[in-house]
Structure 1
Amino acid sequence: MIDFIRQHVLSHFGVDANDAKVTPLGNGHINYTFLVRGLNRDFVLQKINTDVFKTPTALVNNAHKISQHLHKKVAAADYGLQVVSPEVLANGDLYIDLGELGFWRGMNYLPYSHSIDVVGCEADAEMAAKAFGHFSSALTELDADLIEDVIPNFHHLPGRIELLQQAISADSQNRVAQCRDWIDFVLSQQDLLQELAQVETKLPHRICHNDTKINNMLFDKRDMSSLAIIDLDTCMKGYLMYDFGDMVRTFCSPEEEDSTALDKVQVRESIFGAICKGYLSELGDTLSDDERKSLWLGARVMCLMIGVRFLTDHLNGDVYFQIHHEGHNLERAANQFTMYQSLLNQQDTLSAYLN
């Protein structure tokens, strides 16, 4: 793919392939991301997965609107992080659509940036949660209706379970039998679905990041402070309980989300407490009482829902998430279901941090 980029893509960004170095960047599951280092500038280049993001122009336009809003907040000294902005092509556009050869967009590269995949200490958890809270707080003044839905019903647990049931019925890869225990476990969680139906009707729609993994908050290498919130692809209207829940899902385990060492996969109480402290320090005065009460529900829903998505993709033949070996999505699913069980086992202790 790098040879293709050099031959067919770089020129659209005003870059001479002879003067540029292109290398893979990050470990995302969906899009293909590269760092382009040229004579005059460095930038991030991304091929959007249009099987997942069927309206990629909406994705780019959303990111542009959000970056413009955040730049205004920076100018007014109301936003303390750096801003990820679209890279403008040579013709002034924000993307290049090459049809079957891909939909490409660029973003500014932030020097001194560093990401981590596993939270090592309470200080990092609190800092990252504070940064995500700061990001969400800054967007409360931007009209949520200006942001398009790039993936309808993205965080909709009943719909995700319905898709799982369809995958079970089709069993296109003959994998249902090996997953039966986890399937039965998911389908037994009807109480959570009922609780969710009661709570969502009480919550306001806000612009949410919708993918608050620890590696979507960049640290500054120079002092390991928070630098920027990245990956705005799934920014849409939603409920903040899911942003909180995704932090819990990805910050609290001492293992990566595809670890098969399930005996080590658990919610670390101290990290959970640090998330609550950091997130609420930025949003505590913004959240309604119902939103604050919903955060514990969001933690449980996100662990179960991402597990359901991994399991569904495994049953369907791994068509959504990039995998590195057979059974990778099943391993990810088992990991997330184990996190969900750990939350349930510590419910009284953990939920007290939000009271």
Structure 2
Amino acid sequence: MIDLIRQQVLPHFGIVSSAKVTPLGNGHINDTFLVRWENGELVLQRINTDVFNTPNALVHNADKIAQHLHKKVAQGEYQLSVVEPVKTLDNALALDLGKQGYWRAINYLPHSHSIEVVTSEHEAESAAKAFGHFSCALSDLDATDLEDVIPQFHYLPGRIKQLKAAAAEDAAGRISECSVWVDFALTQQSLLQELEQASTQLPLRTCHNDTKINNMLYDKRDMSSLAIIDLDTCMKGHLMYDFGDMVRTFTSPEEEDSTNLDKVEVRESIFAAICRGYLAELGDVLTLDEKQSLWLGARVICLMIGVRFLTDHLNGDVYFHVHHENHNLQRAANQFTLYQSLLAQQDKLLAYLK
């Protein structure tokens, strides 16, 4: 892979083949690298076109968002750094090498630092404020101007249907080891009716759609908020899902693939910090219906990501990168356990949204 990058990819960006190329991050979908040479550095990605089968839409959405945020910076309305495309020598947003991959480059932010597990209320509140600040800055960008890179990405009925199909087909012969979790997921379908009723009342917004804690970069010099990254799934949607993904990835003291299920729980103080930070930035932007939908978003996302991990496990690990046997099953069990913790604390957690 490194030789391919040096010989066939970097020349299109005007970068010498002797540049240092190292893997970056631990994303589930794309292959990401940090490229450093004498005169600069950038982030290079090979887009997974099995997942993002319209990659041109992905890079054009990211470019539109970057341009909009730069305008907000110029107007003094956006205080974070902007992640933006680095174009090829032909002024293209991406490089399509056919079987050798679809590649795009973005600017690298010096002094950036990401975390996998939130360890303090300060980390949670600052990250939630950053994601809220990002959404607030995009609140006047017409969401319908962005293409759907993954149609029905946050659509729980569709995800449940996919799980049922995967369990029935049992393509990888794994149903016997995870039938308990399949049965559990299918008993939660009362959420579907609640979701259907709420969705009709919510405005379409430009959403990040993947507000994991490691998609907010801190400045490692003082641990202040630096930038929102990974704009691959930015498209129209409902902000309750952005809130929900923060709850999913901020509140547990364990990483999302931890097998220490007895330690997986929603930390009340971290949930409260998310609410403070997010609503401080978006409180005047959100409609009443949107504010009331946030708790629903938290429940739906925690359940839905577990369903997606479990479905991929049953299908033979064809979507998410896995690093060992039963990795997706472990992720699913982790997420369902977090979902159960969320339900168990409903009354006291809801108070922070009121």
The question of a shared fold, defined as TM-score above 0.5 by the shorter chain, is answered with yes
Partner amino acid for 2:145? L
Matches of 2:245 and 2:23 in 1, distance apart?
25
Mapping for residues 65-214 of structure 1, pairs under 5 Å:
65-214=64-213
Aligned to 2:6: 6
Partner amino acid for 1:272? F
1:268-310 superposed Cα distances (whole Å, 9 cap, x missing partner): 0000000000000000001111100000000000000000000
Aligned to 1:17: 17
1:101-145 superposed Cα distances (whole Å, 9 cap, x missing partner): 100000000000000000000000000000000000000111111
1:60-102 superposed Cα distances (whole Å, 9 cap, x missing partner): 0000000000001001111000000000111111110000110
Q: Percent identity?
A: 71
Q: CA deviation at 1:190?
A: 2.0
Matches of 2:189 and 2:328 in 1, distance apart?
23
Aligned to 1:312: 311
Partner amino acid for 1:11? P
Mapping for residues 226-305 of structure 1, pairs under 5 Å:
226-305=225-304
3-state SS of paired residue (1:37): strand
TM, length-normalised to structure 1: 0.99
User: How many pairs are equivalent?
Assistant: 354
Matches of 2:170 and 2:103 in 1, distance apart?
34
Matches of 2:125 and 2:189 in 1, distance apart?
32
Mapping for residues 41-80 of structure 1, pairs under 5 Å:
41-80=40-79
Unaligned runs of at least 5 residues, structure 1: none
Partner amino acid for 1:68? Q
Unaligned runs of at least 5 residues, structure 2: none
Partner amino acid for 1:50? T
Matches of 1:166 and 1:190 in 2, distance apart?
16
Aligned to 2:321: 322
Matches of 2:145 and 2:14 in 1, distance apart?
31
Q: CA deviation at 1:221?
A: 1.0
Q: CA deviation at 1:326?
A: 0.8
Partner amino acid for 1:14? G
Q: CA deviation at 1:38?
A: 1.3
3-state SS of paired residue (2:263): coil
TM, length-normalised to structure 2: 0.99
Q: CA deviation at 1:177?
A: 1.1
Partner amino acid for 1:8? Q
3-state SS of paired residue (2:153): coil
Matches of 1:94 and 1:129 in 2, distance apart?
30
Matches of 1:191 and 1:92 in 2, distance apart?
50
Matches of 1:10 and 1:327 in 2, distance apart?
36
Matches of 1:243 and 1:288 in 2, distance apart?
15
Partner amino acid for 1:327? N
Matches of 1:111 and 1:248 in 2, distance apart?
28
Q: CA deviation at 1:7?
A: 1.2
Matches of 2:45 and 2:148 in 1, distance apart?
20
Q: CA deviation at 1:237?
A: 0.4
Matches of 1:161 and 1:178 in 2, distance apart?
19
3-state SS of paired residue (2:233): coil
3-state SS of paired residue (1:61): helix
1:231-289 superposed Cα distances (whole Å, 9 cap, x missing partner): 00000100000000000000000000000000000000000000000000000001111
Matches of 1:304 and 1:34 in 2, distance apart?
31
Q: CA deviation at 1:4?
A: 1.1
Matches of 1:39 and 1:65 in 2, distance apart?
30
Verify: 1:340 aligned to 2:339, yes or no. yes
Matches of 2:48 and 2:172 in 1, distance apart?
23
Matches of 2:27 and 2:336 in 1, distance apart?
21
